Chains A and B, each alone.
Chain A
Amino acid sequence: MDFKKRLKAAVHYTVGCLCEEVASDKEVQLSRQTIAAISEVTFRQCESFAKDLEMFARHAKRSTINTEDVKLLARRSNSLLKYITEKSEEFNVERKTKKKKKLEDENKDSLEPAEAGGVGSEN
């Protein structure tokens, strides 16, 4: 219970900061109750998301939540889905490039000729 309260407080703080940004951006004022309401809703939605994600992962017979699960969760809102897929693709690409770089570095360090051929085939 204590953890929950702390989490809620953290969420509330973050939401407050974001709302202040938005308020200053749009030059609109937001009351405290509004921010509290938003943070409460965000918290509950996060709970719901977590349960759904767990369900999806279990449905796919996995024990780890995947990006696929997240995409499934976000499919309702098209724009959000697009955003998420784009981000995930970027992330994947980044990961791949990082992996390749790591592999290349390791290969250069250890065995250059064989790995160079292997890396070349990969590329």
Chain B
Amino acid sequence: MADGDISDNEPTTRTLLRRVLDTEAPRTPRRRQSTRAGVQRTPLGTPFSMRLRSQTKTTAGRQPHRARSIGRLAHIQTRGQLKEQTPRTLLENILLTAPESSMVMPESAVKPVPAPQVVQVVQFSRRESSPGSLELQLPELNAPTTLAPGRLTSGRRKKRLRLSEFQQGMDQELPLSQGPVTEPPGNTGASSLSSSLNLTFATPLLPQSVQRPGLARRPPTRRAVDVGIFLQDLQDTSVATAFPGDRTPVATLPTDTVLEDTQPFSQPLIGRSPSVHHSLPYPSLSAERTVSRRTRSSGPGLQNNSPGKPAQLLAGKAEEVDALAMRFPNTSSGTSGVDGLEPLLGGVGEEVEERMEESMSLSEVKEATGAQASARAEEPEAHTEVAEAEGSWGAIEEKELEGSSGDKDTEGRTARPELASSTPEFPRARQLEFLEPAPPTSTAVLRQDPYKMGLSHYAKLFSFYAKMPMEKKALEMVEKCLDKYFQRLCDDLDVFAAHAGRKTVRLEDLELLMRRQGLVTDRVSLHVLVEQHLPLEYRQLLIPCAFSGNTVFPAQ
């Protein structure tokens, strides 16, 4: 009944307003209007006051939360009755209390409460308010919001209208934006709530994610590992290589002879030639990879230039990476403990490319790391998978060595970093899954896989950053140096761990190593390096203050 009254009164209100505006627009002072207002008041006053009363009744009956709004209405009511019913006051009262529907949408089932409801919306701008009650109001609010813009006169009104507009806009955008937005991190609740169109008050949080779905962090897409292709590649390489036990003699001899021999490279040329052959079957793949690295590493600006390339390269890379990926876990499974450490070192060493490049103190290499680090830092996750994979790979090297390696035994440690290094295209999480199926399936694979194979990748990178054409022999020398470097690196790590009476390599060992290398000094701590060179996500994993969650106690 009240609704009927109000709906009947709607046109009268509007016509009344129009009348008021037309007649009273030129004249501003209130006093002169009093008589006229008085004349008009009598037909208006009663319906107005009646409406007010009905509104208050309905509001009071509807929701118990409306103390304020009721109070406001009562205030208005009293104001309206006590003051002179000037057109201005009349207008104000109408604008404050009248519902926001109009003749345009008469069938919107406008109830007398939307206005106070809007007020309530302003007040209860939280999610804790009962969604059920809000649910009721939302469809009503939708209707009035379409007309809201025409009514902005008073400040209070403005606030309400804006919010309702805003809500409407948000609601409209929600169905559009729910598709791309899969898992916005800070707005999981908001998205879930908004999906059911229940949420009206979490608006401050929502619109940013709604209006900019591109900023949402998506989980990295994963590509399946094709074990068959990998095994095939492995067999091909094993057939190509003609020497089963090549690795161990090469590994053991130089460490003794090189140090004391003034001409360290007199011996191993014979041993190195097969490795050259190894690299031959994979020139295209490594070239692809380096090209892709080039496109990736040359900066975020080039990301746009190589949209087509990564797609092509990924296919080839996946194959090569598969080949590499399985190779190393095979070796790790075949060997065990410290005995197998040496043959594994060639592959394990790849993991520390960053550190290697830093410590080599080559300006180009430093630029490379800088470029890579900056590229990683700047690329948002939603960009090319390739870029992300590289960033994750680089980060994996640090993280795997420093953080997670402490949690596993040496074999696991050698296997995982190998996986990390040899699978630059794979997202990190998938590598964790990959490790489990890898060892059981690769028991029968040969162990003599060319360790140099992995280093050729670094050599290519080196040649790129040298900005000059390089001889093949020079590249071989670079590979040799890298090999020795990585061997020494892992030896040191092992020795440091043993020195502390441990069997697992931990973060402290690595920090000690970096201190010896001169990367970590009294001025520059490890955390500073982590912040400088690793993507932001790893900061909170590696730096205790970041992952402590604001509970930091001084060491005792």
Question: Which residues of A are at the interface with B, using a C-beta cutoff of 8 A?
Answer: 52, 55-56, 59-61, 68-69, 72, 75-79
A59 to B516, Cβ gap below 8 A? Answer: no
Q: Assess the B512–A78 pair: CB atoms within 8 A.
A: no
A68 contacts B499, C-beta separation under 8 Å = yes
* Interface contact B495-A72, CB-CB below 8 Å: yes
Among candidates A60, A68, A76, A78, residue contacting B256 with C-beta atoms closer than 8 Å: A78
Q: Does B288 contact A (CB under 8 A)?
A: no
Contact A55 B501 (CB under 8 A): no
Is B402 located at the chain interface by the 8 A CB criterion?
Answer: no
A-B contact pairs, 17 of them (CB 8 A): A52-B516, A55-B512, A55-B515, A56-B499, A56-B512, A59-B500, A59-B508, A60-B499, A60-B501, A61-B500, A68-B499, A69-B499, A72-B496, A76-B259, A78-B256, A78-B259, A79-B260
| Least CB distance, B523 to chain A, in whole angstroms | 14
User: In the complex, how many residues of chain B place their beta carbon closer than 8 angstroms to a beta carbon of chain A?
Assistant: 13
A59 touches B495 (CB 8 A): no
Chain B 254-273 against A: per-residue CB contact (8 Å), 1 yes, 0 no?
A: 00100110000000000000
CB-based nearest B residue for A58? B512
Taking CB atoms, residues of chain A closer than 8 Å to B499 are: 56, 59-60, 68-69, 72
Interface of A is mostly: helix
CB contacts under 8 Å to A, within B6-48, are none
- What residue in chain B is nearest A79 (Cβ atoms)? B260
Q: Give A76 to B260 CA distance when docked, in angstroms.
A: 11
| Cβ distance B487 to chain A, nearest Cβ, rounded Å | 13
Indicate with 1 or 0, residue by residue over B488-507, a CB within 8 angstroms of chain A CB atoms: 00000001100111000000
Q: Report Cα–Cα, A68/B33, bound state, in Å.
A: 103
Instruction: Give the nearest-CB partner of A48 in chain B.
Output: B516
Q: Is the CB of A77 within 8 A of B501?
A: no
A33 nearest CB across to chain B (Å): 25
Contacts of A76 in B (CB 8 A): 259
Across the interface, do A60 and B500 meet the contact criterion of CB distance under 8 Å?
yes
Cα A85 to Cα B509 with chains together (Å) = 23
Docked-complex contact B496 and A59, CB < 8 angstroms: yes
Interface pair A59/B260, CB less than 8 Å apart = no
| Min C-beta distance of B272 to chain A, whole Å | 23
- Residues of chain B contacted by A78 (CB below 8 angstroms): 256, 259-260
B residues neighboring A (CB under 8 Å): 256, 259-260, 495-496, 499-501, 508-509, 512, 515-516
A61 to B256, CA, bound (A): 31
In Å, the complex CA distance between A86 and B515 comes to: 29
Q: Is the interface of B mostly helix, strand, loop or mixed?
A: helix
Closest to B492 in A: A75
Residues of B within 8 A of A52 (CB): 516
Instruction: Name the distance in Å between A107's Cβ and chain B's nearest Cβ.
Output: 34
Whether the Cβ atoms of A59 and B512 lie closer than 8 Å is: yes
In the bound complex, CA of A61 to CA of B509 (Å): 12
**Cβ contacts under 8 Å, A77 to chain B:** 259
Most A C-beta atoms less than 10 A away, residue of B259, B499, B508: B499
Closest A residue to B255 by CB, please name it.
Answer: A78
Q: Please give me the 5 A-B residue pairs with the lowest Cβ-Cβ distance, nearest first.
A: A60-B500, A59-B512, A72-B499, A59-B500, A60-B499
Question: Who on chain A is nearest to B491 by CB?
Answer: A75
Cα A60 to Cα B502 in complex, Å, equals: 10
Nearest A-chain residue to B509, judged by Cβ: A59
A79 partner residues in chain B, CB cutoff 8 A: 260
Within 8 Å CB of A59, what residues of B?
A: 496, 499-500, 508-509, 512
Which chain A residues border B500 with CB–CB below 8 Å?
59-61
State whether B495 touches A75 (Cβ < 8 A): yes
Bound Cα distance from A64 to B140, whole angstroms: 79
Please, how many angstroms separate the alpha-carbon atoms of A68 and B495 in the complex?
11
A77 CB to nearest B CB, Å: 7
Q: Complex: how many Å from CA A104 to CA B12?
A: 122
Bound Cα distance A68, B496 (Å): 11
B427: min CB distance to chain A, Å: 34
Q: Please give, as numbers and ranges, the residues of chain A lying within 8 Å of B259 by CB-CB distance.
A: 76-78
Q: How far is the CB of B484 from chain A (nearest CB, A)?
A: 12
Name the residue of chain B whose CB is nearest to the CB of A72.
B499
A59→B499 CA distance, assembly (Å): 8
Contacts of A56 in B (CB 8 A): 499, 512
User: In the complex, A52 Cα to B518 Cα: how many Å?
Assistant: 11
Cα distance, A79 to B501, chains bound together (Å): 25
Give complex CA distance A63, B425 in Å.
45
Residue of A52, A59, A61, A79 with most partner-chain B CB within 10 A: A59
Chain B residue nearest to A71 (CB atoms) is B499
* Bound-state Cα–Cα, A76 to B488, Å: 9
List chain A residues, Cβ under 8 A from B501.
60
What residues on A are CB-neighbors of B508 within 8 Å?
Answer: 59
**Inside 8 A of A69's CB, which chain B residues have their CB?**
499
B63 vs chain A, min Cβ distance (A): 67
A78 to B512, CA, bound (A): 21
The CA of A78 and the CA of B516, in the complex, are separated in Å by 19
With both beta carbons as reference points, the residue of chain A lying nearest to B516 in the complex is identified as A52
Smallest CB–CB gap between A43 and chain B, Å? 19
Closest Cβ of chain B to A70, distance in Å, is 11
Q: What chain A residues lie within 8 Å of B495 (beta carbons)?
A: 72, 75
Contacts of A61 in B (CB 8 A): 500
Minimum Cβ distance to chain A for residue B304 (Å) = 47
Given contacts A52-B516, A59-B512, 4 further A-B contacts (CB under 8 A): A55-B516, A56-B512, A60-B500, A68-B499
Complex CA gap A59/B509 in Å reads 8
Chain A residues near B509 (CB-CB < 8 A): 59
**Which residues of chain B are within 8 angstroms of A60 by Cβ–Cβ distance?**
499-501
* Alpha-carbon distance A12/B500, docked complex (angstroms): 36
Which residue from chain B places its CB closest to the CB of A52 in the assembled complex? B516
Write the nearest CB–CB distance from B290 to chain A, whole angstroms: 33
Q: Tell me the bound Cα distance from A116 to B259 in angstroms.
A: 51
Q: Report Cα–Cα, A69/B512, bound state, in Å.
A: 13
User: How far apart are A55's CB and chain B's nearest CB, in angstroms?
Assistant: 6
What A residues does B515 contact at CB under 8 A?
A: 55
How far apart are the CA atoms of A72 and B259 in the complex, in Å?
A: 17
CA distance A60 to B256 in the complex (A): 27
